[in-house]
Amino acid sequence: MSEYNQAQWKKQLALLSVCRQWRQLALPLVCRYVGIVFGDCTLPSDSSSTTTYEEPTDNPIVTNTNLVAQMGQIKAVRQLDMLLYHY
């Protein structure tokens, strides 16, 4: 995973629930990437000759930083990806 991908990160969370030993081994892997997404990531849609944009959502920030901090794995973070969507 070269950049933060929320779907892939969520799949890795399953490793933490296998058993205590797997959790200890997988925590640094799962918490290696932190992502922060600002704004609505809905792509514009093309209709005829004009381009229209979707309305932004009410909660424009998506991140896993709080979960990583709650797990006590701040020292395991090796990459921080920040995406800014602005239309």
Q: What is the pLDDT of residues 35-48, one digit of tens each?
A: 888 876 555 555 45
Q: What is the DSSP letter of 58?
A: S
Q: How far is CA 30 from CA 7, 13, 64, in A?
A: 12, 7, 11
Per-residue model confidence as pLDDT tens digits over 32-80: 888 888 876 555 555 454 555 555 556 678 888 898 999 899 999 998 8
Q: What is the dihedral of CA 52, 53, 54, 59, to 10 degrees?
A: -170
Helix/strand/coil for 13:
helix
C-beta of residue 83 within 8 angstroms of C-beta of residue 33: no
